[in-house]
Structure 1
Amino acid sequence: MKKALIIDDEVDLCMLLSMQLRSLGIPNEYVNTINEAKEKFKNNQYGIIFLDLNLKDGTGFDMLNYMSNFPKLQKVVVISAYDNERSKVLESGADFFLPKPFTKKKVAQIIDSI
């Protein structure tokens, strides 16, 4: 699988998810703001994107809207503690919803289904 991009303002969560993905054989990198994510995404080289809904400089919905201007070459997993956002997230272009807190097993299940 292509590289994964993690977009979350919680550095600890980024590091944890990054380790989980590496243990599953998925190279990855992470950023902590929408602006950084947009810069990384310009080349549209990621196979999967893990996207938090609440970031310091915008929302995951802002990023989903930005990505809609590019060919959809990746799967998008939205990460959120707010389960009530699930249907809106999926309607906005995300492929999966991963509720916080999540387990390595749940991440592996999503990866396996791709």
Structure 2
Amino acid sequence: MLTKALIVDDEDDIGLMVSRILIKEGVEAEYVNRIAKAREKVVSEDYQVYLLDLNLPDGTGFDLIPLIRAKTSEARIIIISAHDGSYEMRKMKEEKIDTFIKKPFTKKQVIEAIQGLEV
């Protein structure tokens, strides 16, 4: 069962909304809005799932993946982004991303993505 998640998104309303959804599903959730802060969290905390936006002011969610994978190969990664072009789709496949949620999204899509990781 998933118990702890890190959400990385520069849109506070989205980060806070996803946090609330996860908490209601019994997942401890933390939210940051910059890659630099996310790097600190990845190094200092243990998360089972990461929800990453691709377009952030100080980088891209893809920038965090090597650090996440170096810490634990067991981590599950969900990309939440409006960017779904051929480059992004190819990169997600290369990085073995577990799930992609396209913005705008619904509460149901977030819950289904998290539940799909627990199978």
Q: How high is the TM-score relative to the length of structure 1?
A: 0.91
Consecutive unaligned residues of structure 1, counting only runs of 5 or more, are: none
Greater shift, 42-51 or 60-69, is seen at 60-69
List aligned pairs for 1:84-99, cutoff 5 A. 84=85, 85-99=88-102
Contact 2:5 2:47 in 1 (8 A): yes
List aligned pairs for 1:1-114, cutoff 5 A. 1-43=2-44, 45-84=46-85, 85-114=88-117
Q: How high is the TM-score relative to the length of structure 2?
A: 0.87
Contact 2:5 2:30 in 1 (8 A): yes
Q: Quick one: distance in 2 between partners of 1:47 and 1:63?
A: 14
Alpha-carbon displacement from aligned partner over 1:2-32 (angstroms, at most 9, x marks no partner): 2110001111110111111111111101111
Contact 2:69 2:75 in 1 (8 A): no
Structure 1 ranges of 4+ moved more than 6 A: none
Aligned-pair RMSD on alpha carbons? 1.4
Q: Percent identity?
A: 42
Contact 2:78 2:98 in 1 (8 A): yes
Other structure's SS at 2:16 match? helix
Aligned length: 114
Other structure's SS at 2:70 match? coil
Structure 1 position 43, deviation (Å):
3.5
Other structure's SS at 1:57 match? coil
Consecutive unaligned residues of structure 2, counting only runs of 5 or more, are: none
Q: Quick one: distance in 2 between partners of 1:44 and 1:22?
A: 17
Q: What residue identity is the alignment partner of 1:22?
A: I
